[in-house]
Amino acid sequence: MTMTTEPPGPTGAATAALRFAGVSKKFKDGTVALTDADLTVAPGEFVSVVGPSGCGKSTLLRIASGLDGASTGEVDVHSKSVGYVFQDATLLPWRNVRDNVRLLAELDRMEKKERDERVRDAIDLVGLTGFEKHLPHELSGGMRMRVSLARSMVLNPDVFLFDEPFGALDEITRERLNDELLRMFRQRGFAALFITHSVQEAVFLSGRVLVMTGRPGRVKAEVPVPFDYPRPPDLRYSADFAALCGEVSRHLRDV
């Protein structure tokens, strides 16, 4: 397995922002979480992965980020920094909004002046200006997730990994955050690999939806989503949209 983290550049065929080739993951207890997973995410592309619980979706992200190693196969990540948004907001409860957003920039030793500027921009980007001094426990779940997004945005990564970030939120908040995530996606132009349980969310956000099978996990089907960005919120209620969701769901049922 190779794990390259170089800035994107003309390196021949490897122009993908993220590439998995024949990646498998077997845990020490013998569980096979992933077999022969192949996928690529082009720079500036939004790709979602849907699949049943326990099909290795999260393992995919853990390998892509380097939290776990692959047992076999090849993983290329072409980005100087990778944004990882967890299912929980994972905010430090003793730090207020601004200091939480600043955390990763601190860990990466960003120069102070640039850091402060980027923190301000990121807080503005997620619409939390005015809440800088609030502590996490004073915020709603959706607002906490916004802080978590802003924290990654500060580093301005070329590749974003999302591990069911809105899974714990109510439907209304989730849709609102989907709209806003797309706005950020358009504004910043990152490549995204987005894990979710929600077919509708996957179709609404992505240029491509990958369907995974369960145990051992592998990518089973790929559904291209032809809608242009920016996507209006009402797209969710169009017939074409429903038809695509139906197609993804059918693949899921056949798993």
Give residues in contact with another protein (CB under 8 A): 65-67, 82, 84, 86, 88, 90, 92-94, 103-104, 106-108, 124, 126-131, 133-143, 146, 169, 172-173, 176
Residue placing its CB nearer to another protein in the complex, 170 or 240? 170
Nearer to another protein, 12 or 130 (CB): 130
Burial class (CB in 10 A: 0-12, 13-18, 19+), 234: exposed
Q: What angle do CA 145, 148, 151 make, to 5 degrees?
A: 155
d(CA 62, CA 81): 15
Are 178 and 201 in contact, with CB atoms under 8 Å apart? yes
| Cα dihedral: 144, 148, 151, 155 (round 10) | -160
* Whole-number Cα distances in Å, 46 to 38, 164, 171, 181, 222: 16, 14, 21, 11, 13
Q: Which is nearer to another protein, 69 or 246 (CB)?
A: 69
Q: How far is the CB of 213 from another protein (least distance, A)?
A: 26
- Closest distance between another protein and the C-beta of residue 151, in Å? 9
| Minimum CB–partner distance for residue 200 and another protein (Å) | 18
Determine the straight-line distance between the first and last CA of the chain, rounded to whole angstroms: 28
CA-CA-CA-CA dihedral for 225, 227, 229, 233, to nearest 10: -100
Q: How far is the CB of 156 from another protein (least distance, A)?
A: 14
Residue 253 CB contacts under 8 Å (≥ 6 apart), including other chains: none
Using the minimum distance from each CB to another protein, give the nearer residue, 57 or 218. Answer: 57
Task: Indicate the SS3 state at residue 25.
Answer: strand
Give 218 or 231: the residue with its C-beta nearer to another protein: 231
Q: How far is the CB of 223 from another protein (least distance, A)?
A: 29
Name the minimum Å distance from CB 51 to another protein: 21
Smallest separation (angstroms) from another protein to the CB of 129: 4
Name which of 127 and 189 has its Cβ closer to another protein.
Answer: 127
Dihedral sign (CA 5, 37, 191, 179): negative
* Nearest CB to another protein, comparing residues 48 and 100: 100
